[in-house]
Amino acid sequence: MEGLKWLYPGLKIKRWLLLAALGLFLLVSGLTLIMGVTLLASAEQGVTWFILHTLGRLGSPLFSGILTSCLGLLLMLYGVQRLAGSVFNVLLPGNVDNPWKVFYRRRYLSRGPHIVAIGGGTGLAVLLRGLKNYTCNLTAIVTVADDGGSSGILRQELKIPPPGDIRNCLVALADTESLMEDLFNYRFQQGEGLAGHSLGNLLLAAMTDMAGDFERAIQELARVLAVGGQVIPSTTSYVVLGAEMADGTTVLGESNIPRAGKRIKRVFLEPPSCRPPAAALEAIARADAIIIGPGSLYTSVLPNLLVRGLVEALRRARAPVFYVCNIMTQPGETDGYTVADHLQAIIDHCGPGLIDVVIAHRGPISRRSLRRYGEQGARPVLINGPAVARLGVELRTGWLVDETHLVRHHPQRLAALIMDALYSRHSPGRQRFSFLIREKFRNLGV
């Protein structure tokens, strides 16, 4: 009986359903005229008689049948389209302008590869924005070492993992990204205790208090946002990131490390016994590709790899491991670093053989951006191909820069290069053809 509720008055379902049914009936009637057979007995004979006596004057029964079939087909398609629009209008508010884009993302992309992205900061969110055009089987494993800004305050006062990077990834994967990004990233400018906090951080903190668990809070908020994938903290333990500098001094606190202005020898987590959630290890085990970065090398990327058990899971995984190198060096972290230097830092912390492919930007950057970043001490990360080869890592390059606001990776170009590299490694045939089809659909705006 529940199915009959679709026929309740006011739902704008019956009219379009009847119109589609009428179109189907006319289509069948027209086809019977063309083929000269009878399928629907007396009802169809009555319609056939009506068609012949009204349209028969325009030509032969064959012409009348073709005209009726075309009319029926148009009515049926129009009825189905309006019926689907009525349903989408209720179930997917805000996306009604292109409901098939949502259908494509949730159905066709559900057959895409399982990809795990590991990192933090804005870099991971940029990567996810591009990858969600190719698959919705995405898992973001996010650092929880951030201790600055709104995240740092909530972390200190509520004793919860910092929500900022988690928020960025949830927004990046949401279907209603533009609307939710503005809402979740809104920062209060006034109010004692509220100034400086983003709404998304406060919602995550509130959900954590309601659910009693940070992981559960992320899942519930992801469900509200209709997130196409999952976001998992690299650990739920309360951790502090520390750094041992080249001069032997130690700096504690993620936000304090770049400000120290010294060359970093290594970074570490306190407590070192922190463990990753089971969901993170499961996602890595079933992944078709694992992507590390982009993001701050020592404060966004490596903190994830320092969580005990995560690197071991990456080594056991059957999937290739990609590392996306930053486009610009970061003052206080990677001054003067090349692509090979970034890889060497990962090797120093995790051992050799972890990274299979490194993705790097090759191409021009505007003088205006170079001048602006140069004033802060940042330079483009140079590619030293022979040094990368000596480390046993495959090098993939492309024009990946986006200078809309800051010098960052372009989400679509980065994702396209990664997907091309992934499908080329696995199979140059059927899977690559599937990638090209997805790329064609994406370029058409589907």
Confidence of residue 2 (pLDDT cuts 50, 70, 90): low
- Within a domain: 183: no
CATH code, 385 = 3.40.50.10680
pLDDT at 378 over 80: yes
Rounded to the nearest 10°, the torsion over CA 89, 95, 100, 101 is -170
**Same domain for 364 and 249:** yes
109 and 37 housed in the same domain: no
pLDDT reported for residue 440: 46
List the single range of 33-47, 137-151, 205-219 with lowest mean pLDDT. Answer: 33-47
Split into its structural domains, the chain has a count of: 2
Going from the C-alpha of 132 to that of each of 161, 211, 335, the distances in angstroms are 25, 28, 32
Instruction: Tell me the whole-structure pTM to 2 decimals.
Output: 0.77
- Decide if 224 is inside a domain: no
Over the stretch 31-69, which tens digit does the pLDDT of each residue have? 776 776 655 544 455 555 555 555 555 456 666 667 777
Please give the single-letter amino acid code of residue 160.
I
Cα end-to-end distance, the chain, whole Å: 36
Q: What is the pLDDT of residue 192?
A: 67
Q: In terms of domains, do 11 and 129 share one?
A: no
Q: Which residues pair with 90 in a beta bridge?
A: none
- For residues 60 and 131, state if they share a domain: no
pLDDT tops 50 at residue 441: no
Is residue 195 assigned to a domain?
no
**411 shares a domain with 283:** yes
Tell me the three state secondary structure of residue 227. Answer: strand
Evaluate whether residue 373 is within a structural domain.
Answer: yes
Q: In terms of domains, do 261 and 349 share one?
A: yes
Q: What's the domain range around 287?
A: 105-143+234-443
For residues 125 and 185, is the Cβ–Cβ distance under 8 A? Answer: no
Residue 137 near residue 115, CB atoms below 8 Å: yes
pLDDT over threshold 80, residue 361: yes
Q: Are residues 324 and 297 in the same domain?
A: yes
Tell me how many degrees the CA angle 328-256-311 measures, rounded to the nearest 5. 70
Within a domain: residue 254?
yes
Assign 182 a pLDDT band (cuts: 50, 70, 90): confident
Task: Please report whether residue 294 resides in a domain.
Answer: yes
Q: What is the DSSP letter of 338?
A: B
Helix axes 199-211, 214-224, angle to 10 degrees: 120
